[in-house]
Amino acid sequence: MNEITVTPGTLYIVATPIGNLGDISARAIAVLSQVDIIACEDTRHTQKLLSTFAIKNKTLSMHDHNERQRQEYIGRLLQEGKSIALVSDAGTPLISDPGFHLVRYCRNLGLAVSPIPGACAAISALSVAGLPTDRFSFEGFLPAKSGARQATLSALVNEPRTMVFYDAPRRAIDTIKDIVKILGSERYVVIARELTKTFETIHSDTANNLVYWLEQDTNQQKGEMVLIIEGFKANADEISADVVKTLKLLLSEMKPKKACAITAEIYGVKKNALYDIALSLK
Ligand code: SAM
């Protein structure tokens, strides 16, 4: 392995473990030890991580509420040639965590921003879910209130890609009940809970069965979790009005083969089922 050294004037986006401290990388330790300052969400939380790895370094708090003020200060330090690391409480910064405004600001100034990759709950969950990963949609946190949550889910009813959500502890049962209501009781869902920790659980079933499972064992409602929802799979016999409308629009612009292929890709329906409809629409 080459010697790891930090470059002056660079902002490093450093991933930290999501539970198991063994998941920190050698590069993360080296960068966190060598940079001039570490920007973090909660200085006390990050200090604990740093002391675990015997890293003695300065921290600077940067969270959702002061990111815009901090970005100018951090930008100035970088322009002076200082090297800075950004970490979040756990996992990869910017992924449902602060840092987006800072990274955009630095990139707009032409400053170097470099990733130190590592744990991310969404990707870890996806890697064990057993659902298609060739295309997926990261949806972050669903709204806390049921009405808004149901509205968000309604907009995803026909989403054919695997969907990845973060959920707050103890909210999962209400979320899964809303999934039953909006996406249907048979929609397949994977719960990835407490990943990399002692009580790691990866459990999958239909949304309906998951409600029962969570009610039977309330321990499963505790801790951190990622929900992965299977994308919408239209039954060849159940072509919705939206699918037909899209197909019709595309048929007016292109050949049936292409129109069917694009519609099939958008809605996850079988191409063959669409050819018959395309013929009848001609
Ligand atoms: N930036 C982080 C990342 O890269 O995963 C995510 C931060 S977000 C504020 C926290 C959410 O991530 C939790 O509410 C939970 O949904 C998910 N999460 C974090 N750690 C987890 C773990 N060990 N197991 C399952 N989900 C986790």
Ligand 1 atom, smallest distance to 95 CA: 1
- For the chain, give every domain's residue range: 10-119, 122-229, 236-281
Give the CA angle between residues 222, 225, 231 to the nearest 5°: 135
Q: What is the 8-class DSSP label of residue 56? A: -
d(CA 251, ligand 1 centre) in Å? 43
d(CA 8, ligand 1 centre) in Å? 31
Q: Which amino acid is at 252?
A: S
d(CA 166, ligand 1 centre) in Å? 7
Q: Whose CA is nearest to atom 19 of ligand 1?
A: 121
18-59, pLDDT tens digit by residue? 999 999 999 999 999 999 999 999 999 999 999 999 999 999
d(CA 18, ligand 1 centre) in Å? 7
Q: Which CATH class name applies to 122-229?
A: alpha beta
Ligand 1 atom, smallest distance to 122 CA: 5
81-108, pLDDT tens digit by residue? 999 999 999 999 999 999 999 999 999 9
Give yes or no for a contact between 195 and 91, defined as CB atoms under 8 angstroms apart.
no
* pLDDT given at position 73: 97
Ligand 1 atom, smallest distance to 121 CA: 5
DSSP per-residue string spanning 9-44: TEEEEE-B-SS-GGG--HHHHHHHHHSSEEEES-HH
Evaluate whether 10-119 and 122-229 have a shared fold: no
Tell me which residues of the chain have a pLDDT lower than 70: 1, 235-238, 282
Q: What is the 8-class DSSP label of residue 135? A: S
CB atoms within 10 A of CB 55: 18
Q: Which amino acid is at 1?
A: M
DSSP per-residue string spanning 70-122: HHHHHHHHHHTT--EEE--SSBSTTSSSS-HHHHHHHHHTT-EEEEE----HH
Q: Distances in Å between the alpha carbon of 191 and those of 146, 153, 220?
A: 19, 17, 9
CB atoms within 10 A of CB 197: 14
10-119, CATH topology level: Cobalt-precorrin-4 Transmethylase; domain 1 (3.40.1010)
Contacts by 276-281, CB closer than 8 A, 24 or more apart? 277/239, 277/244, 277/247, 278/247, 278/251, 281/244, 281/247, 281/248, 281/251
Three-state DSSP class for 1?
coil
Ligand 1, CB within 6 Å, residue ranges: 18-19, 88, 90-92, 95-97, 120-122, 166-168, 192-197, 224-226
